[in-house]
Amino acid sequence: MKILRLILGDQLNLEHSWFNEVDDSTTYLMAELRQETDYVKHHIQKVVAFFISMRNFAKELEKKGHKVIYLKIGDPENPQDLEKLITMYMEHSGAEKFEYQLPDEYRLDSQLQSICPILGVETESYDTEHFYTTRHELKDFFKGKQQLIMESFYRMMRKKHDILMVNGQPKGSKWNFDQSNRKKWKGTPRIPQEKMFGVDVSAVAQQIRSSGVETFGNLDEANFNWPVSRKDCLLMVHYFCEHLLKYFGDYQDAMHTDEKFLFHSRLSFAMNSKMLSPKEVVNQVLEYYDHHSHEIHISQIEGFIRQIIGWREYMRGIYWKEMPSYRDHNKLGNYNKLPDFYWTGHTKMNCLKQAIQQSLDTAYAHHIQRLMVTGNFALLTQTHPDEVDQWYLGIYIDAVEWVEITNTRGMSQFADGGLVATKPYVSSANYINKMSNYCTDCHYSPKQKTGEQGCPFNALYWNFLDEKKEYFVNNPRMSMMLNLLEKKDKPELRDLKQRARDIIQNPGKY
């Protein structure tokens, strides 16, 4: 029977069982579609990374002997739309069956469910064979439970997959070493030079531009430094184990003006495109640790493994449990516009300037920059979660909705009312000053609350607590903050709120 199999841009899993055998009657279909470049405005590096990785993947399939139809963005016969693409190539190929891997985005899942019935042939969907968990495993795990606590899901994952366990107990006698993951980086230990790939992407960048795709952000066309082939992805994991793992946990939350990546792995794009599986990453890290346990502390390993088998799988499970209503949540009732400087980096607030400029230059910021700098400011200025989502979904190389929206709308903006985060991630200048050197060269002073030098985060923080307190009265994790707010001197609070209002109304001034 002639079969047409669709492969989406984030389904680049060369190890998938589909490819175990070469079969002449099966054709694989891949396309660079305007539907995908245009649903949000993306960073140029994100579009380049996906297209080059897709092209490399198609070449690998062809090398193995598989039949592949590949449409580039500028090809005249490219219909630029998924439904037209599938119907057109079902007809061309004379296929009697259509097969696809389950998409990870709700948008594409719904679209495929509406396309299949109109094809008039047998259709079948397959697992992507990428994640540890199935789409609905988290939903089943939390059935009948009041709260969806990540830690309990994570412990189940550790036990179920026998990861960092000894005789049924957690290795190192503790499940979680989060407390030791909070060091400030002050110039030592030395951070190795980032892993370079130096790929020339000028041809694909030119094709993207001449096809009229609108993007933003910066790109060094002669020297693209993201892994875009399976071989480079494997090199990246190896590099991480050899050079960065030893200090990963300690400096996970640190930020520094001279170091964009610190000890972070930069593996999110490799995994989210599925060129690498989380199991491969975890197994490699565990194997490396087995041979180097005398020089690497368990806290570094646990800190890393938790992100992958914990947070990453947890966010995916929440996404499938809560969509499609999740994308409409705005439980704190925030309606302001995202400040324009998110698109330019032009602000006197050094932490935001650094985190945004870095994001525009590299399509990357690490977790704490996303959560406690850009996310924190957006929440404190009570920005509409739709605006915040659009920005995060566009700017980061790893931004795919299932992991972007749960982190942004949930963890960072508390728009889901506390499904993902047990408290809102807001802070005054104190936290940023404690974890970075950003405040040293800032126009503002982290110690001052009002006046010309007063750090905007300070006034915004107290204003936020005051304006949103009714949402948090029953949240035990917020009681200390609300008690402090209660004790605040009234004239001081009035001045803070006045300044906060000015910042919210005129963010460009700051």
Assigned token pair, 209: 């531009």
CA 463/CA 473 separation, integer angstroms? 16
Q: Find the part of the chain contacting ligand FAD (CB under 6 A) among 12-20, 31-39, 45-53, 399-407.
A: 399-407
Q: Which of ligand SF4, ligand FAD, none binds 315 (CB below 5-8 Å, type-dependent)? A: ligand FAD
Q: Of the two residues 5 and 260, which places its CB atom closer to ligand SF4 in the complex?
A: 260
Instruction: State the nearest-atom distance from the C-beta of 333 to ligand SF4, in Å.
Output: 26
CA 24/CA 21 separation, integer angstroms? 10
Instruction: State the nearest-atom distance from the C-beta of 442 to ligand SF4, in Å.
Output: 3
- Specify the 3-state DSSP secondary structure of 74: coil
Q: Of the two residues 79 and 302, which places its CB atom closer to ligand FAD in the complex?
A: 302
CA 264/CA 194 separation, integer angstroms? 10
How many whole angstroms from its chain centre is CA 489?
A: 40
Query: Which residues ranging from 314 to 333 are in contact with ligand FAD (CB under 6 A)?
Result: 315
Q: Find the part of the chain contacting ligand FAD (CB under 6 A) among 85-93, 111-119, 405-413, 430-438.
A: 405-413
CA 269/CA 232 separation, integer angstroms? 12
Neighbours of 298 (CB within 10 A): 18
CA 441/CA 430 separation, integer angstroms? 15
Q: Does 253 bind ligand FAD (CB under 6 A)?
A: no
Q: Does 371 bind ligand FAD (CB under 6 A)?
A: yes
Contact by Cβ (8 Å): 58, 19:
no
Q: Of the two residues 28 and 248, which places its CB atom closer to ligand FAD in the complex?
A: 248
Beta carbons within 8 Å of 460's beta carbon, 6+ residues apart:
377, 380, 381, 500, 503, 504
Q: Of the two residues 288 and 457, which places its CB atom closer to ligand SF4 in the complex?
A: 457
Distances in Å between the Cα of 416 and the Cα atoms of 46, 160, 219, 326 are: 27, 29, 35, 7
Q: Of the two residues 289 and 461, which places its CB atom closer to ligand SF4 in the complex?
A: 461
Q: Which of 442, 450, 484 is CA-nearest to residue 466?
A: 484
Q: Of the two residues 52 and 285, which places its CB atom closer to ligand FAD in the complex?
A: 285
Beta carbons within 8 Å of 203's beta carbon, 6+ residues apart:
none
Q: Of the two residues 245 and 432, which places its CB atom closer to ligand SF4 in the complex?
A: 432
Q: Of the two residues 31 and 371, which places its CB atom closer to ligand SF4 in the complex?
A: 371
Binding positions for ligand SF4, rule: CB under 6 A: 349-351, 429, 432-433, 438-439, 442, 444, 446, 455-457
Instruction: State the nearest-atom distance from the C-beta of 339 to ligand SF4, in Å.
Output: 13
Q: Does 42 bind ligand FAD (CB under 6 A)?
A: no
Q: What angle do CA 397, 265, 422 make, to 5 degrees?
A: 80
CA 11/CA 109 separation, integer angstroms? 13
- 351, 353, 356, 359: CA torsion to nearest 10: -90
Q: Of the two residues 42 and 66, which places its CB atom closer to ligand FAD in the complex?
A: 42
CA 278/CA 285 separation, integer angstroms? 11
Looking at residue 6, what DSSP letter applies?
E
Q: Does 403 bind ligand FAD (CB under 6 A)?
A: yes
Q: Does 277 bind ligand FAD (CB under 6 A)?
A: no
Q: Does 367 bind ligand FAD (CB under 6 A)?
A: yes
Q: Find the part of the chain contacting ligand FAD (CB under 6 A) among 64-72, 113-121, 306-314, 459-467.
A: 306-314
Q: Find the part of the chain contacting ligand FAD (CB under 6 A) among 52-60, 173-181, 205-213, 368-376.
A: 368-376
Q: Find the part of the chain contacting ligand FAD (CB under 6 A) among 37-45, 52-60, 167-175, 307-315.
A: 307-315
Interface contacts to ligand FAD, rule CB under 6 A: 264-268, 271-272, 307-308, 311-312, 315, 366-367, 370-371, 375, 392, 396, 398-399, 403-404, 407-408, 411-412
